[in-house]
Structure 1
Amino acid sequence: MQATLVNRIASSLGAADHPYMTGAWTPNFDEYDATDLEVIGEIPTDIDGVYVRNTENPVHAPIGMYHPFDGDGMIHAMAFKDGRASYRNRFVRTKGFEAEQAAGEALWAGLAEHPAQSKRPGWGAQGSLKDSSSTDVVVHAGKILSTFYQCGEGYRLDPLTLEQEGTEGWVPAGGISAHPKVDEATGELLFFNYSKQAPYMHYGVVGPDNRLKHYIPIPLPGPRLPHDMAFTKRFSIFADLPLFWDPNLLPKGYHAARFYKDLPTRFAIVPRYGQPEDIRWFEAKPCYVLHWMNAYEEGDEVVLDGYFQADPQPPPLEGYGPKLGQMMAYLDEHSMKPQLYRWRFNLKTGAVNEGPLDDRILEFGSFNQQIAGQKGRYLYSTTAKPGWFLFTGIVKHDLESGRSWSLDFGENRYGSEAPFAPRVGARGEDDGYLVSFITDMAADASECVLIDAKDVEAGPVCRIRLPHRISSGTHATWASGADVRREKARL
């Protein structure tokens, strides 16, 4: 079954000229429920759950220059059980989405434009953007929670039907940012937000019953641009990174990010239910980090892995003009050069030890969420196409032995963030599958692939054809089928 939106972008609006509205980033407008899917190979019977991915799909012609993070959120879900799979996709019906549907046009200017161009007040840390709920996605307390990177309201959907359930009721006035974290060991969800008003950051804990249990300020020297957080069994970890809005331009309404290379990176380590006075601050080399991976405690130390950027302000990519070229550079991992990196914070002495774990350009990683907050062995990073925000393959890291294995998706084939799905009855940390959507530009088609995490170099175990070619996007997650069904029964 297929439903189509009435108010959609038209070819006459200049989309063909924008690199992130064409090719692998061509927006989707159709919504599907599909159960009779072509399968190449055989779907294993020992995978049970749902793979959920968020993407950006602009419905209306943008106000000014379009940035892909401005696009309307669309959730794609592939559910697996008993050797069968079904696919669904839906736009996230945010308040901004519904308002623009009613108006028949874009009402909010995007990330690349001055806030004064917006026709209505906006949401988030910047205060003028549309909360498109198009960045991250997790499953907590039996429901999908989709989020917006500059702090939004958080939208809930049913993970199996994608039925819309509106905004999340516990979200505080400051909203929630990407990326909230689910601790599978406790059922808690940890989150943060940030703004242009003191104390500039807050942190909260939501219980397994989906009720807000804890909410405190994390005082910062001024407005900052954190994107992610991490946690251990006892602590939550936040960063005060030296890339933030130019304080001289903010009073004029310009949100121009600058890298202040003479400032250190500061880390806040706070007990999960701690107070502001319990925060321990540590200083490290100046950098920017878009995404953290796992963190854990080892003796007197807290250990944190993430993707280190030494110079997060590269020059514009050539051939696009200064403004578009700068946006293209910020979306290009080969310009930003993130590397897998480790920090060790000694809670007894205050010392920080840090250094790279791999010299390759890597980002958008995943690991077995059952060991989140505990010491783990395996991590799965993505590789990217030079000049583009497109994933070209996967690297599996053995953090214990230092070995790694790689899989390339193939020429003109671009994947999505690939979370780890534990095998039913798994007996080891890497006993399961990596799940990804692949867009094949040569075939003008998309598919879902399962990759044996124990042997990534062997390639997909099976390939499941989607009913349409989907747009590239940002983040994805995996949720256990047994957990989802148990929560649905409880609710």
Structure 2
Amino acid sequence: MTLVIENKKQIMTGRDYPHPYLHGNFAPIHQVQPLTPCASVGNIPEELAGGEYVRNGGNPLSNEDPGRDAHWFDGDGMLSGVAFRRKDNGSIQPEFVNQYILTDTFISTVSTPSLRLPILPSIATLVNPASSRLTIILRVFRTIFLVVLSLLPGSEQTIKKISVANTGILSHDGRALATCESGPPIRISLPGLETIGWFDGRRAEGEAPAVEDTKGESEVFGGDGMLSFMKEWTTAHPRVDPTAKDLILFHSTFLAPFVHYSIIPNSRNSSVEKPRLVNAAVPGITSAKMMHDFGVSFTHTVIMDLPLSLDPRNLAKNLPVVSYDSNGRSRFGVFPRWNPEAIRWFETNPCCIFHTANTWDEITPNHCAPGRETTAVNMLACRLTSASLVFSAGDVAAPVPIPTSNPKYPPEDEQCRLYYYRFSLENELDTITHQFALASIPFEFPSLRDDASMGAARYIYGCSVSGSSFGAALGRAVKIDSLVKVDVTALIAQAKQDPPTPITGCVDNRTVSEILASRDHWDPIKIFKLPPGIYAQECRFVPRNNGVSEDDGWILTYVFDESHLDALGNAGPNTKSELWIIDAKEMREVVCKVKLPQRVPYGFHGSWFSEEEILNQRDFESTRSLPMTRGKTSDVGSPKTIETILMQLWVLTRRWMLNLVG
């Protein structure tokens, strides 16, 4: 049965054009439905049978106020998936499903129809230099007020976590976990995408308590104490060790020491409790930062302390809560995986990095002691030379950067490229021996073959834009028209033969058009260019069984044909997306197109879940559900007693307060 949550009108945010990230195929969709069979054109690879591709993204529910601020990073989490069901006759039937993630804030919004604004303040409000301190303070206090009100009688949903869980999704230890910076992961059931509950590092709500759950609050995310909820805030990009199966993650907060760090083992079916590290402080960070991702190799972790702050205390300095210092410095903290106290800091030019692609060790024999030691840590990342994307994604004019006065950090052109760092650990000098771009083309949303991560993987996949950059201009949005495969091994080897200029240099200086014109079978960069007017999203790799090379397999991505938009660029109720399955070796052939029953808005990050992962999910006792009725806060009943009269008065007062702050 299809569930439709009431349609919301198109947002116009005080401008004479629609908000670019709430328009066209960026516009939210409010129709959700269970697994629904889909038609397909082409051959579905056998390796997909029984598995499911799932992608997360922000999909705001409350859009009632036509003048509100909005940002692409805002929005309630919505999962969109295609499951490849095995049929009795041996064929594969793709089935589409999409569901809102039933977070505390989403359920509270659904049960409070008087709310015209989302419960959380928009990132656009926080980053906009034109936002007054009073506006920001009022928005923050509104959120606090709504959270406190939810704890009092008459509320359909208590808001214990403020996360919208709208960014990523991954698999670990028998659980599918949706992620976002502002809270812990939340568990999802596959393949139907039902919400089970918040994961605290030991178990998820909705699961039966296990023996190991008696360890106490210090063994869960956040620990104890009045401000422990901040230490629950978990990166949207945890990493899973493909060999040890450990889950590695960090927690970024507004208070010193600003970053905590956890390692959660793969404990299922283990007779011995494996080592755990929970809420360990990472020393050396002196302020709150917008810290989205990090790097993890088999032996080391890299924390990125970049000059992009996310700090309410900025208000006291007459700065926006989110602020980028173009004269600041980028610091990379490298430490052994299990020992953050041994962190070493490497400093270089200011930049922004939202996504790392891969991190791996260089290991050499130790002649002084038995065994081998890590002599360097390598990292590939999507490096932006400014924070313009943070502003443009909210349709906010980026502040004009102050010209650098530091000759050590010369100014750089606006760009977002796949970048290579090498952090040397061979002596006490904290030296970045290599730092340069591998290719000059725009590159974001990186991914790789999962079982090759944390090692010296050869191929990195990502997204590019052929006619612009990832820092779009006001009134426009970034749309992905090219999918890229980069042979990073070949380009790094090329750089050793002909070293590019440190920091500003680039190994391959070709444009997207020049790369597309190449007919070299061994070209280190291959691009799948989508037809005009058709745009893609982040892609994920699925390997071929018994493949002969690392890139032997397919990449999956949602695509949308914008010729289906109306004359004003609006996506009507009958517009639909497709899931394309593309041969990953040559990056030229679409082997199958799955026709979806509705469109999938341009979103964030996804994962491929294998048949084994779906079949071996942990048991759970319950899932979350929406209230049966909307807006009903209490049934005071009869006869009229003092208690029921007081309750009626409280219900009326509560409704009045909600209408006032809605």
Q: TM-score normalized by structure 1?
A: 0.89
More strand by share: 1
Q: CA deviation at 1:95?
A: 0.3
1:214 aligns to what? 277
Q: Of 116, 121, 142, which aligns to 1:109?
A: 121
Q: How does 1:84-103 map to 2 (within 5 A)?
A: 84-103=93-112
Q: Of 47, 53, 63, which aligns to 1:61?
A: 63
Deviation string 1:35-60 (CA, Å, 9 cap, x unpaired) is: 42111112121224221101211111
Contact 1:45–1:81 at 8 Å: present in 2 too?
no
Tell me, what secondary structure is at the counterpart of 2:489? coil
Distance in structure 2 (CA, Å) of the matches to 1:374 and 1:238: 18
Q: Of 178, 186, 197, which aligns to 1:146?
A: 178
Is 1:434 equivalent to 2:555 in the alignment?
yes
1:456 aligns to what? 587
- Structure 1: runs of 5 or more not aligned: 330-334
Is 1:75 equivalent to 2:97 in the alignment?
no
Deviation string 1:17-71 (CA, Å, 9 cap, x unpaired) is: 3222220112111112244211111212122422110121111126631112111
Tell me, what secondary structure is at the counterpart of 2:122? coil
2:250 aligns to what? 192
Q: TM-score normalized by structure 2?
A: 0.67
Change beyond 3 A, Cα 1:268–1:433? same
Tell me, what secondary structure is at the counterpart of 1:374? coil
Amino acid at match of 2:576: A
Distance in structure 1 (CA, Å) of the matches to 2:579 and 2:388: 34
Q: CA deviation at 1:129?
A: 10
Q: How does 1:403-482 map to 2 (within 5 A)?
A: 403-443=524-564, 444-458=575-589, 460-482=590-612
1:332 aligns to what? none
Tell me, what secondary structure is at the counterpart of 1:401? helix
Deviation string 1:372-400 (CA, Å, 9 cap, x unpaired) is: 11001111110136332322121111122
Tell me, what secondary structure is at the counterpart of 1:76? strand
Change beyond 3 A, Cα 1:212–1:282? same
Distance in structure 1 (CA, Å) of the matches to 2:540 and 2:36: 22
More helix by share: 2
Amino acid at match of 2:96: Y
- Structure 2: runs of 5 or more not aligned: 87-91, 126-135, 148-159, 202-220, 223-228, 269-273, 364-374, 401-412, 492-523, 565-574, 622-662
Amino acid at match of 1:141: D
Equivalent pairs: percent with the same residue? Answer: 25
Q: CA deviation at 1:363?
A: 0.7
Distance in structure 2 (CA, Å) of the matches to 1:436 and 1:212: 37
Q: How does 1:137-176 map to 2 (within 5 A)?
A: 137-149=169-181, 151-170=182-201, 171-172=221-222, 173=229, 174-175=231-232, 176=234
1:294 aligns to what? 358
Amino acid at match of 1:4: V
Change beyond 3 A, Cα 1:253–1:199? farther
Q: CA deviation at 1:207?
A: 1.2
Deviates more, 1:464-473 or 1:114-123: 114-123
Contact 1:315–1:326 at 8 Å: present in 2 too?
no
Amino acid at match of 1:156: R
Contact 1:230–1:238 at 8 Å: present in 2 too?
yes
Tell me, what secondary structure is at the counterpart of 1:263? coil
Is 1:393 equivalent to 2:482 in the alignment?
yes
Tell me, what secondary structure is at the counterpart of 1:308? strand
Q: CA deviation at 1:234?
A: 0.8
1:306 aligns to what? 381
Tell me, what secondary structure is at the counterpart of 1:112? helix
Amino acid at match of 2:55: R
Distance in structure 2 (CA, Å) of the matches to 1:36 and 1:314: 37
Change beyond 3 A, Cα 1:307–1:223? same
Amino acid at match of 2:80: H
Distance in structure 2 (CA, Å) of the matches to 1:30 and 1:479: 24
Distance in structure 2 (CA, Å) of the matches to 1:476 and 1:47: 15
Q: CA deviation at 1:258?
A: 3.1
Q: CA deviation at 1:9?
A: 2.0
Q: CA deviation at 1:451?
A: 0.8
Distance in structure 2 (CA, Å) of the matches to 1:62 and 1:218: 42
Distance in structure 1 (CA, Å) of the matches to 2:11 and 2:389: 33
Distance in structure 2 (CA, Å) of the matches to 1:336 and 1:416: 22
Root mean square deviation, CA, Å: 3.0
Contact 1:50–1:80 at 8 Å: present in 2 too?
yes
Is 1:263 equivalent to 2:328 in the alignment?
yes
Distance in structure 2 (CA, Å) of the matches to 1:356 and 1:20: 29
Larger Rg: 2
Q: How many residues align?
A: 475
Distance in structure 2 (CA, Å) of the matches to 1:448 and 1:241: 36
Change beyond 3 A, Cα 1:463–1:315? closer
Amino acid at match of 1:202: H
Tell me, what secondary structure is at the counterpart of 1:70? coil
